[in-house]
Amino acid sequence: MDRRTFLRSVTAAAALTGTGGLLAACNANPAAPAPNSADVAKGGTLYILSDLSVQQLDPAKSQNLAITVLGLVHRRLTSWKIEEGKPATVVPDLATDTGRPSDGGKTWTFTLKDNVKYADGTPIVAADIKYGIERSFAAAFTGGLAYHKKLLAGADAYKGPFEGSELASIEVPDPKTIVFRLTQPYGDWTWIASTPPFAPVPKGKGTDASYTEKPIASGPYQVTSYAKGVEVKLSRNTFWDKGTDEARAGLPDDIVIQLGQQTDIISQRLIADAGNDKFAFSVPFVAPAQLAQIQGNQPAKQRLVTSKSGALAYVTLNTRRPALADPKVRQAFQYAVDKASYQIASAGSAELAGGIATTLITEGIAGREVYDLYPAPPGGDVEKAKQLLREAGHADGIGPLDFVVYNSNNYQKKGEAVQAALLRAGIKTELRVVDSEAWEALVTGNEGTYDLTVSSWQPDFPSATGNIQPLFDTKEIGNGGYNTARYSNPEVDKLITQAQSTVDPVEAGKIWAKADRLIMQDSPVVPLIYTRNSFLHGSKIGNFVIGGFPAYPNFLQVGLTK
């Protein structure tokens, strides 16, 4: 399952991913696309319907993507430009550029733009960026994205600013300049600077847990009221200057986030398209049952927007379990699975579920190469799977294997589809359905007492490092890491370090592609599909666009039609 199922505050549904060259996203009914930018106007109230009870607006605690809710309230040093039909690119946000590397990529320097202010009119200064990042190290403000914590020099022993200390590897020589000194060359630091901890927090603010309810806004909107489990109201930050911000349109006057809504009820409301729901869109993905209903409702079908691609869904094979230690046995799984049946279990149809996957680097990510080391029909090649098992000394098959799945987001049905396919080849499994906490403890903990699981993954930013490093780096085994295959290959670890240290994205992409192939030769996971995410919106919503990455609409550009 996708870790964001229970961590990411943008959505409570699994799927990314992690997820995802970059192509235009598809509307579920291409003949009737969502209104584009020419149809939207400034003004009005936008409604966002969410199944979450809490909207996390503290940048230290948030795992929001750069183009979702947090980006409406907080700016960062860099951001993402997402357009239909064009690649996702990193763009300057509070900074004048996307960062200037030196010392081979171990040092990065940013300069702040003129006329960037908080909602109270106070200028944003470089020290605020430094303090916001330092604040994310405090024990009381954990839970957010933490790539910077492993990369900033001296960060391993740093405990945050509330004990009177500063992180020396973040330097602020003047109010507009900030310098980061890293432990290693890191070409993706320009993307790291777009993650939530790089939002400014005025020094001395955000000292208690209530900051999520009353954050100091730097984006086009500020919080006017926050009722847990009910709603969050946002209004304009009059000091936000569109001339300094190419990532955000800032079109609606007000935004109301309705919390605690049931997922199926959200879909029913948007299908009905009545009252304020005409000016609303859903945060959770549309569930398979509602997708089937929408296909027979032409007006609603015209308002369903589906990503072209998204997260990689895959079967994890725990390489440290005796039955799965032999690579030839693991390769048999590549042929035994029925990817077509997994598509049906996921979304009811191949079109809505997503295309069949054969690689680890998802669509929309630089460095992705299309290849298939284990060519088979969509339904699998059972005889080839049996042949590999015989060659490995298992003429009578293997099992039963412990197959653990998460108890929500249709994962039991998905697991049953995989289970039935494996049985055809003589691979017997026992399906164990657990809740999110148990799944998390089991597959990311240190003991690893399971054989199989089904997961999905989409990177936190559009770089292959997010596809490969969290899932296959030896350092990510146990201790909460997401190397759930418990896969360890020193050559892969070396390629990960080499790719991350390469500043040129084209050259880095070549190294990531090499790592992708090497991992697949060892077969620690079985790629299933590149998932597609479907979202529904009201008839008065315009500029509702999903790019090639990520598989989510760009909240920052949504407006209301004239």
Q: pLDDT-derived band of residue 37, with 50, 70 and 90 as boundaries?
A: low
How far apart (Å, rounded) are the C-alpha atoms in residues 2 and 552?
A: 15
Provide, rounded to the nearest whole percent, the portion of the chain with pLDDT above 90: 77
- Tell whether 429 and 390 lie within a shared domain: yes
Residue at 525 is within a domain: yes
- Better pLDDT: 238 or 460: 238
Average pLDDT over residues 113-136: 97
Task: Assess whether 64 and 101 both reside in one domain.
Answer: yes
Residue 301 located in a structural domain: no
Q: Say yes or no: 422 and 366 in one domain.
A: yes
What pLDDT, in 10s, does the model give residues 423-471?
999 999 999 999 988 999 999 999 999 999 999 998 989 899 999 999 9
Which pLDDT does position 518 carry in this prediction?
A: 98
Q: What crossing angle do the helices spanning 465-472 and 490-500 adopt, rounded to 10°?
A: 150
Place of tokens 């009252």: 275
Radius of gyration of the chain (CA): 23
How far apart are the C-alpha atoms of 401 and 15, rounded to whole Å? 25
| Residue 224's CATH number | 3.40.190.10
Please, are residues 336 and 385 in contact by the beta-carbon 8 Å criterion? yes
CB-side neighbour CA atoms (13 Å) of 290: 22
Backbone φ and ψ for 57, nearest 5 degrees, come out as -115, 10
Spell out the residues 6+ positions from residue 112 whose beta carbon is closer than 8 angstroms to its own: 94, 95, 96, 124, 125, 126, 129, 175, 176, 177, 178
Do residue 235 and residue 328 come from a single domain?
no
Q: Do 330 and 467 sit in the same domain of this protein?
A: yes
Residue 52 belongs to some domain of the structure: yes
Please say if the pLDDT value at position 10 is more than 60. no
Helices (H), ranges, 223-301? 263-272, 288-295, 298-301
**Alpha-carbon gap, residue 491 to 494, rounded angstroms:** 5
- Give the mean pLDDT of 461-489: 94
For 171, the token pair is: 């330097």
d(CA 317, CA 387): 19
Is residue 3 scored above 60 in pLDDT? no
| 399 and 465 share one domain | yes
Strands 100-102 and 107-111: what pairing? antiparallel
- State pLDDT tens for residues 379-430: 999 999 999 999 999 999 999 999 999 887 789 999 999 999 999 999 999 9
Same domain, 475 and 551: no
Same domain, 385 and 358: yes
Structural domain count, the chain: 2
- Mean pLDDT estimate for the chain: 90
- Place 295 in a pLDDT band, splitting at 50, 70 and 90: confident
Asked whether residue 261 carries a pLDDT value surpassing 70, the answer given is yes
Residues 187 and 328 in one domain: no
Residue 394 CA to residue 326 CA, distance in Å, equals 11
Averaged pLDDT for residues 354-373: 92
The band of 549, judged by pLDDT with boundaries at 50, 70 and 90, is confident
Supply 133's token pair.
């990042």
User: What CATH number does the domain containing 319 carry?
Assistant: 3.10.105.10
Does residue 201 form part of some domain? yes
pLDDT of residue 517: 98
Is residue 99 situated within a structural domain? yes
What would the mean pLDDT of 69-80 be, rounded to a whole number?
A: 97
Residues 391 and 464 in one domain: yes
Is 404 in the same domain as 419? yes
Query: What is the C-alpha separation between 315 and 404, in angstroms, rounded?
Result: 11
Residue 475 lies in a domain: yes
DSSP secondary structure of 11-57:
-SS----------PPEESSTTSPPP-GGGEES-SEEEEE-S-S----
356 and 470 in a single domain? The answer is yes
Tell me, what's the pLDDT at 8? 35
Q: Are strands 312-317 and 354-356 parallel, antiparallel or unpaired?
A: unpaired
The residue that leads in pLDDT, 25 or 89, is: 89
Q: What is the pTM of this model?
A: 0.86
Q: Would you say residue 259 lies in a domain?
A: no
The yes-or-no verdict on residue 331 having pLDDT over 70 is: yes
Model pLDDT, residue 88: 81
d(CA 417, CA 422): 9
Region 519-541 average pLDDT:
96
Q: Which residues contact 380 (CB under 8 A, 6 or more apart)?
A: 335, 336, 337, 338, 339, 421, 424, 425
Distance CA 137, CA 29 (A): 46
Q: Does residue 274 fall inside a structural domain? A: no
Residue 437, domain extent? 312-531
